[in-house]
């Protein structure tokens, strides 16, 4: 069984209190700037770049710099609120607000990154490494990055 998921379309946008709560639970101060940046990250479709987050944020907070957005996103990654995802070429960092275990499909034509979940694949990978083992290394999680071309619907 496999499917693509988009956590951004599953529920209503988070409230300011929910955003502050997420930041607090992650051990981060809920500054106005961080709240706006987190809200943008959670509501932008797909896996946005810092530049895309910044373009959205400045519509609400015109004085926020791109550097501030990068610092906030780095803090979110360190706190486990988001994770970095490399683009198909690895040139620009993209961010994924969905920290659950899943894989990514990269379309080389559109540069789109799609989430891909497949429990059977995950089971095969875990069994493979349990049988083979990695010398002096114990894997805790994994994420495949699969590059290809998205077929038209």
Q: Which parts are annotated binding residues for Zn(2+)?
A: 107
For 4, 30, 96, 98, 134, the CA distances from 76, given in Å and listed in that order, are: 24, 11, 11, 12, 30
Compute the distance between CA of residue 85 and CA of residue 113 in angstroms, rounded to an integer.
Answer: 9
- Feature table: binding site: 107
Compute the distance between CA of residue 73 and CA of residue 23 in angstroms, rounded to an integer.
Answer: 12
Compute the distance between CA of residue 69 and CA of residue 84 in angstroms, rounded to an integer.
Answer: 14
């Amino acid at each position: 069984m496999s499917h693509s998921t988009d956590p951004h379309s599953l529920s209503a946008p988070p409230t300011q209190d929910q955003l502050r709560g997420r930041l607090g639970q992650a051990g981060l101060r809920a500054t106005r700037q961080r709240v706006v940046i987190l809200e943008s990250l959670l509501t932008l479709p797909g896996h946005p770049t810092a530049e895309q987050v910044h373009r959205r944020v400045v519509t609400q907070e015109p004085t926020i710099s791109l550097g501030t957005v990068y610092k906030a996103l780095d803090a979110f990654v360190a706190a486990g609120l988001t994770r970095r995802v490399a683009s198909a070429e690895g040139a620009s960092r993209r961010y994924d607000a969905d920290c659950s275990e899943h894989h990514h499909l990269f379309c080389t034509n559109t540069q789109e990154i799609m989430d891909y979940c497949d429990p059977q694949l995950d089971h095969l990978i875990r069994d493979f490494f349990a049988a083979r083992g990695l010398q002096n290394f114990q894997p805790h999680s994994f994420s495949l990055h699969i590059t290809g071309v998205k077929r038209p619907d």
